[in-house]
Amino acid sequence: MSLPPPDSTFSRRTLVVLMEDKPGVLSHVSNLFRRRNYNIESLTVGHSETQDISRMTVVVHANDAMLEQVAKQLYKLINVTKVSEVNTDDAVMRELALIKVHAPSAQRAEIKQVVDIFRAQIIDVALDSMVIEITGDESKVESLISILKPFGIKELTRTGRVAMIRGSLTANGTRFGS
């Protein structure tokens, strides 16, 4: 893994980890972070485009030295095949949130206006609530949540960050079409 020159500045960092899709691999990876007392801010895992390979996106608060150490330790895990750091310059990053908001009939038009401004969707309507789906970068999701709070958020769930490298380069280091 290539990182910029050493820096002691802590910041939110995003790692994409490709690993064999086998039982216990997620546990091994999360234990690696736990043993080093690194807090995982966001963790998403799912199948990749390659059969039997899963893709994990991990967001941690770390500096360069910590990230380099984590990458080295991840590569020591037998089921990990690739570790890459990605940032907003070289990757598309998104998050999905479902927000259940208190929505009596008198407030529904106003809530719908807010949802439309954010290009979100109302995916469920009940007598006194609506479930809203939003996809976007973290700041967009945070902004919608902030604006909906005065209406009364009953329930909230978020996927955490997912990331994909821009252009023809892929997470496993190959170029599309090569």
In tens, the pLDDT along 44-84 reads 999 999 999 999 999 999 998 989 999 999 998 888 999 99
User: Do 17 and 80 fall into the same domain?
Assistant: yes
User: Do 16 and 70 fall into the same domain?
Assistant: yes
* Measured distance CA(19)–CA(42) in Å, rounded: 18
User: Do 136 and 96 fall into the same domain?
Assistant: yes
- In this prediction the pTM is 0.80
Establish if 58 belongs to a structural domain: yes
User: Do 52 and 114 fall into the same domain?
Assistant: no
Least confident of 4-18, 30-44, 85-99, 108-122: 4-18
User: Do 128 and 61 fall into the same domain?
Assistant: no
Residue 176 confidence (pLDDT) above 80: no
Q: What is the pLDDT of residue 9?
A: 84
User: Do 57 and 36 fall into the same domain?
Assistant: yes
| CB neighbours of residue 78 within 10 Å | 11
Single residue among 30, 63, 86 that ends a domain in this structure: 86
Tell me the residue range of the domain where 20 lies: 11-86
Single residue among 38, 68, 86 that ends a domain in this structure: 86
Establish if 176 belongs to a structural domain: no
Average pLDDT for 76-105: 92
